[in-house]
Amino acid sequence: MVKMNLKEHDMFEPPEDFVKQANMNDPDIYQRAEEDFEGFWEKLAENVDWYNRWDNVLEWNPPYSKWFVGGRLNASYNCLDRHIEKRSDKIAILWEGETGDVQTYTYLELLDATSRFANALKGLGVKKGDIVSIYLPMIPEAVIAMLACARIGAPHSVVFSAFSADALAQRINDPASKYLITCDGYYRRGNVIEHKGKTDEGLDKAESIEKVVVVKHAGNDVTMQDGRDVWWHDIVESANISCEPEVMDSEDMLFLMYTSGTTGKPKGVVHTTGGYMVGTTVTANWVFDLKEDDIYWCTADVGWITGHSYIVYGPLSNGATVLMYEGAPDYPDKDKIWEIVEKHSVTIFYTAPTAVRMFMKWGSQWPGMHDLSTIRLIGSVGEPINPKAWLWYHETIGNGRCPLVDTWWQTETGMALLTPLPGITSLKPGSVTRPFPGVKVAVLDNAGNEVPRGEGGFLALLAPWPSMIRTVYKNEQRYLDTYWSKWGTGKYLSGDGARQDEDGYFWILGRVDDVIKVAGHRLGTMELESALVSHPSVAEAAVVGMSDEIKGEVIFCYVTPKLGAIESEELKDELSKYIVKMIGPIARPEGIIFADELPKTRSGKIMRRILKAIADGKEVGDITTLQNPEVVEILEKKVKEEVAH
Ligand code: WTA
């Protein structure tokens, strides 16, 4: 294969030998999807196994969609049972711990473990429709727990393991879950993280929980509460190894996933079974080009949507071998990721731009220490990838010959919506290319009209897609207000800015609302602000995402202290710790400055746009509408000092 040295404005054509073997290499697919929207999705639904075929492909009463209406299926059946005949001894999960130990589960073993745990959950009283919270790190039991819930029709709600005790409590209290699955501890950079202790602290504020299942993973000492806490290994030991999957309606809830929005409270995104399974199964197959002998590695955490769709449901539904890694990318050294790629002959590698920029900063010598020649496709997700990082990734990790799929999507979309198809799409460094076939995307202005090519606007979806959010759990109004109120109920507001170039390629410009992506992690500025103002020394706070070369954005806080509070470095330190306690280490602020006043409009609204410009060291633009324009200069000076600090 010819190695190309791409430059920023070059196009990367899909290599011929890749095209030949690609799962999807027919360029007419776009046209066919266009001509017969429902027929297209109906055909794709045949990639999933159903107990009962659907009566209708789609019922669309904007903004409510139902897909494959009347169809019946089970997600865990699709990820496990249906592979047994052909793949019972194939490895489904290849797990590597931080200490280097490896655990594997074949499809048969994963089915058995899932069935046992599903029965154990039933034994605890879990019934179809009950919501089960899962608070587990990157260990195989996280996947087993999710699939076991799916098996018995109990929607799971996974909470990212690095979220704090308070954040856990909030995510348990909203759906009032009665069941929680956690572990004793896990390894991070050679230390044992005391996870059960943190869980207990959260449970002090979450009274709905009746039963807690604890995985013994790190072997650290824990306190088990009598009558409430049980060990995973104890309850599975006596559980039956066979568990009939529950026959679920296509529109039954598969899971809840809390995500940050533009208010202080995260929202529970509801995903249902049929459409989600169709969407993730097909995108995993076409976008990652999964083949029987691939070793597929998505470095996301199961606690986020990427882990749900592209570690668990999509790849396993395709019968793939999925690699999971417990630890940090730079421990014990900065070649850890590449050591794992070489050790397990990884063929598909999917990660976030922050990770790519970090690898780039560490230098090519680290990947250079290992044989990465097994890699045949690389992917990116979670934030915009700048052309420079794209080119480095393509050249250094993809050896200049692998297709790079930059996939745009959201917790709410369930599956990748803007993405190359690697056997068809010519790539442009930094662009997410075009919509997946059957997906209708546009860049709109404030009034809902399409903007001319080359101009920026709001990224919108103009038609439903199978794995779309169905509602916000117990908060219909928020569903309507957040996504469907800007232009009416037929046009979904994504919250991202975008631009289409002269070739129709899409370029994502980042969030245009109060959501920020810090190192690919989704956080709400309002959530951070409400954490800050709950501190006794804080009168008012405004949080913005400050641009960062590696992490995309970092958290920058403007704090007005209460009268009598002392503006000291100690207080800054305390506030930083406080925010971490309230949310988790991913929310640690990069900078905090004290501001006697925040820039406000005459009606008293804080102008975050100005605060962001100040944090980024940019021109603030027009400030004549402010009631207190004089604060801008004061803040600019303070930010300069803080950033230099
Ligand atoms: C951003 C993650 C640019 C975007 C799957 C979106 C991206 C938010 C890309 C959703 C990409 C995701 N290029 N930006 N390829 N993928 N985003 O819910 O701002 O954690 O709205 O889902 O991530 O974040 P979420």
Q: What is the structure's pLDDT at 1?
A: 43
Q: What is the structure's pLDDT at 262?
A: 85
CA-nearest residue, atom 3 of ligand 1: 384
- Arithmetic mean of pLDDT, 21-35: 98
CA–centroid distance, residue 306 to ligand 1 (Å): 10
| Nearest-angstrom CA–CA distance, 438 and 420 | 13
Q: Let me know if 570 is exposed, middle or buried by CB neighbors in 10 A (0-12, 13-18, 19+).
A: exposed
CA–centroid distance, residue 268 to ligand 1 (Å): 17
Asked if the model's pLDDT at residue 255 lies above 80, the reply is yes
pLDDT mean across residues, the chain = 97
Q: What are phi and psi of 368, to 5 degrees?
A: -60, -20
CA–centroid distance, residue 382 to ligand 1 (Å): 4
Q: What are phi and psi of 179, to 5 degrees?
A: -125, 140
CA–centroid distance, residue 109 to ligand 1 (Å): 34
Pocket test for ligand 1, best of 259, 378, 383 (most atoms within 8 A of CB): 383
Index of the ligand 1 atom closest to the CA of residue 411: 18
pLDDT 10s digits, 101-117: 999 999 999 999 999 99
CA-nearest residue, atom 25 of ligand 1: 410
**Could you give the percent of the chain with pLDDT greater than 90?**
96
CA–centroid distance, residue 281 to ligand 1 (Å): 19
pLDDT 10s digits, 505-515: 999 999 999 99
CA-nearest residue, atom 22 of ligand 1: 410
- Arithmetic mean of pLDDT, 368-382: 98
- Arithmetic mean of pLDDT, 37-58: 98
CA–centroid distance, residue 360 to ligand 1 (Å): 21
**Could you give the percent of the chain with pLDDT greater than 70?**
99
Pair 273, 250: CB distance under 8 Å: yes
How many C-beta neighbours within 10 Å does residue 31 have? 11
Pair 284, 290: CB distance under 8 Å: yes
- Please give the structure tokens belonging to residue 89: 């001894």
Residue type, 324: M
Q: What is the structure's pLDDT at 494?
A: 98
Pocket test for ligand 1, best of 256, 257, 280, 381 (most atoms within 8 A of CB): 381
- Arithmetic mean of pLDDT, 609-618: 96
Give 645's pLDDT tier (boundaries 50, 70, 90): low
| Nearest-angstrom CA–CA distance, 122 and 526 | 39
SS (H, E, C) 235-286: HHHCCCCCCCCCCEECCCEEEEEEECCCCCCCEEEEEECHHHHHHHHHHHHH
Pair 187, 203: CB distance under 8 Å: no
pLDDT 10s digits, 435-470: 999 999 999 999 999 999 999 999 999 999 999 999
- Arithmetic mean of pLDDT, 387-405: 97
Identify the residues whose C-beta falls under 6 Å from ligand 1.
259, 304-306, 380-384, 406-411, 432, 494-496, 508, 511, 517, 522
Q: What is the structure's pLDDT at 2?
A: 45
- Please give the structure tokens belonging to residue 615: 């944090």
Q: What is the structure's pLDDT at 644?
A: 79
- Arithmetic mean of pLDDT, 177-197: 97
Index of the ligand 1 atom closest to the CA of residue 416: 5
CA-nearest residue, atom 11 of ligand 1: 408
- From first CA to last CA, the distance across the chain in angstroms is 49
- Arithmetic mean of pLDDT, 318-339: 97
HSE at residue 358, side-chain half, CA atoms within 13 A, is 15
| Nearest-angstrom CA–CA distance, 279 and 303 | 19
Q: What is the structure's pLDDT at 264?
A: 85
List, as one string, the DSSP characters of 395-442: IIISTTTS-EEEEB--TTT-S--B---TTTPPB-TT--BSBPTT--EE
CA–centroid distance, residue 522 to ligand 1 (Å): 8
- What are the angstrom distances between the C-alpha of 356 and each of 287, 302, 352, 362, 399? 19, 19, 7, 10, 14
CA nearest neighbour of 546 among 530, 535, 557: 557
pLDDT 10s digits, 539-552: 999 999 999 999 99
| Nearest-angstrom CA–CA distance, 398 and 9 | 18
- Arithmetic mean of pLDDT, 203-219: 98
CA-nearest residue, atom 23 of ligand 1: 382
Asked if the model's pLDDT at residue 156 lies above 90, the reply is yes
CA nearest neighbour of 372 among 351, 352, 392, 402: 402
Pair 591, 558: CB distance under 8 Å: no
Pair 165, 199: CB distance under 8 Å: yes
If DSSP codes are grouped into helix, strand and coil, which group holds residue 628? Answer: coil
Compute CA 329 distance to the chain's CA centroid, rounded to the nearest angstrom: 18
Index of the ligand 1 atom closest to the CA of residue 304: 20
Pocket test for ligand 1, best of 267, 308, 410 (most atoms within 8 A of CB): 410
Lowest model confidence (mean pLDDT) among 3-12, 477-486, 629-638: 3-12
CA-nearest residue, atom 8 of ligand 1: 410
Residue type, 603: S
Pair 426, 14: CB distance under 8 Å: yes
- Arithmetic mean of pLDDT, 360-365: 98
Index of the ligand 1 atom closest to the CA of residue 510: 19
CA-nearest residue, atom 10 of ligand 1: 410
Pair 75, 312: CB distance under 8 Å: no
Pocket test for ligand 1, best of 408, 483, 525 (most atoms within 8 A of CB): 408
Pair 287, 419: CB distance under 8 Å: yes
- Please give the structure tokens belonging to residue 79: 């990820």
- Please give the structure tokens belonging to residue 70: 């009347």
Asked if the model's pLDDT at residue 7 lies above 90, the reply is no
Pocket test for ligand 1, best of 496, 514, 516 (most atoms within 8 A of CB): 496
Query: Domains in the chain, ordered, with CATH?
Result: 515-644 (3.30.300.30)
CA–centroid distance, residue 469 to ligand 1 (Å): 15
Give 4's pLDDT tier (boundaries 50, 70, 90): low
Residue with tokens 């190894």: 241
